[in-house]
Homo-oligomer: A and B are copies of this chain.
């Protein structure tokens, strides 16, 4: 290959091993595959087009699911008056340390916060908009960014001072409807994570200590990363009547009496992209589950400068694979090997190689990004082989991650086993008293926190004792260090 001084100089591959230096490996994968980049504002990041394409798929999938549930999108101001925070005391306490205020103030001198979440301002509009049972349920969602001024260092996708998310806010006439929907939205989150991102999650309920500031009950989907840390991937809060009472929301029932409605809220963020990267990617770079990949196939023609028919056939294949968003890499001045590395770094699920010899045999070589498996495929079977391979890959990536999650979870009965599980960078499944002070002590000693009490399996066997304090333990609970 001729020397080409215009070639990008910094696009070399990943220079550290996932097994050796996980944090550095992760940063390199995210930055070099051009998903995201650090911003000049400390703690903030840019979501680049490769990353935004993933976020768009998450948005479209989840948005369609919520619309089927009768949710409608809206947009509320990014500014929240200070007085709103103080109406719900727990909420204010939970969020105020991380709030960013603006220098501009209201006419009466009132401060404005940049929204860390929008329960307060949305509940205030619920108060204005809801008159009677006819207006309920009222299901609203917004796609926006929020700001939480974290003091810890930024970790791309996982922790940043501004992040993209959606926040759903619904109001109901009855407690039952409210609670039912809280779990329906949790289930929709599970589907996005497991079916789209091929990322297995644990569904559960948060302990008193870990629940959302102002919620009655917080449900969560929890992930576990290869480096032994848990990650909260999304939450759905049953807010009860707390915010509605604080903001004076009332509706006239069919009985012509005033009632206080019930409320939930639920959110997922771009964090899920980080979790997906950590789980599936390898030392060559990004691995994208096919369903989340904007471009599922890249075709690399070989020696087409010598044999133009190769390029003709490659273009034909690209048209055939239009639905898979297939790319054709006919960039001049790069070797096929350089191109393979480049697309492996960027995580395209399938690579199709076609050269003069393949053409003679009427075949292509199909390469899977995740396993590296190579297969010769007759030309007339390419489309079917691609479809089958994409389906298999999606299933196997999930299966592999699921097995890994199971291997990373240890059942423990006492403190010694618990400490050992953490030392081995595992998640501990144990019986727990649920007491706030007990949990605070555990965190102080180990920095581990409860992740959740698993849905459908939250009750500890009769007579269980807390692994830490030894008192009666009503709950099965996951514990782990976390991001």
Q: Mark interface residues in A132-172 (1 if CB within 8 Å of B CB, else 0).
A: 11110000100011010100000000000010100000000
Across the interface, A77 reaches (CB within 8 A) one of B6, B39, B144, namely: B39
A304 within 8 A of B: no
| Residues in A34-48 with C-beta less than 8 Å from chain B | 37, 39-42, 44-48
A124 within 8 A of B: yes
A256 within 8 A of B: yes
Across the interface, A331 reaches (CB within 8 A) one of B76, B77, B128, B134, namely: B134
B6 touches A132 (CB 8 A): yes
A41-B72 contact in complex given A131-B8, A149-B104, A254-B6, C-beta closer than 8 Å: no
B252 touches A5 (CB 8 A): yes
Residues of B close to A107: CB separation below 8 A: 42
A73 within 8 A of B: yes
A84 to B144, CA, bound (A): 24
B46 touches A76 (CB 8 A): yes
Stretch at the interface among A49-57, A276-284, A310-318, A448-456: A49-57
Closest to A10 in B: B131
A228 to B114, CA, bound (A): 37
A40-B81 contact in complex given A48-B74, A52-B75, A100-B103, C-beta closer than 8 Å: yes
A144 to B48, CA, bound (A): 14
B77 touches A46 (CB 8 A): yes
Across the interface, A8 reaches (CB within 8 A) one of B6, B41, B125, B132, namely: B132
Residues of B close to A132: CB separation below 8 A: 6-8
Residues of B close to A40: CB separation below 8 A: 81, 84, 121, 124
A102 within 8 A of B: yes
Within the complex, what minimum Cβ distance (angstroms) separates A49 from chain B?
4
| Residues in A14-37 with C-beta less than 8 Å from chain B | 37
Within the complex, what minimum Cβ distance (angstroms) separates A71 from chain B?
9
| Residues in A72-106 with C-beta less than 8 Å from chain B | 72-81, 84, 100-104, 106
Residues of B close to A6: CB separation below 8 A: 131-134, 252-254, 256
A72-B49 contact in complex given A37-B128, A40-B81, A131-B8, C-beta closer than 8 Å: yes
Closest to A5 in B: B256
A160 to B459, CA, bound (A): 52
Across the interface, A103 reaches (CB within 8 A) one of B7, B44, B102, B134, namely: B102
Closest to A108 in B: B42
Residues of B close to A147: CB separation below 8 A: 78
Known: A6-B256, A7-B132. 13 other contacts (CB 8 A): A6-B254, A8-B134, A10-B131, A37-B125, A42-B106, A46-B77, A46-B125, A47-B76, A49-B140, A78-B114, A78-B145, A101-B103, A103-B103
20 A-B residue pairings within 8 Å (CB atoms): A5-B252, A6-B134, A7-B134, A8-B131, A8-B132, A8-B135, A40-B124, A41-B77, A41-B112, A46-B75, A46-B77, A47-B74, A47-B76, A49-B140, A52-B72, A78-B147, A79-B162, A100-B102, A100-B103, A101-B103
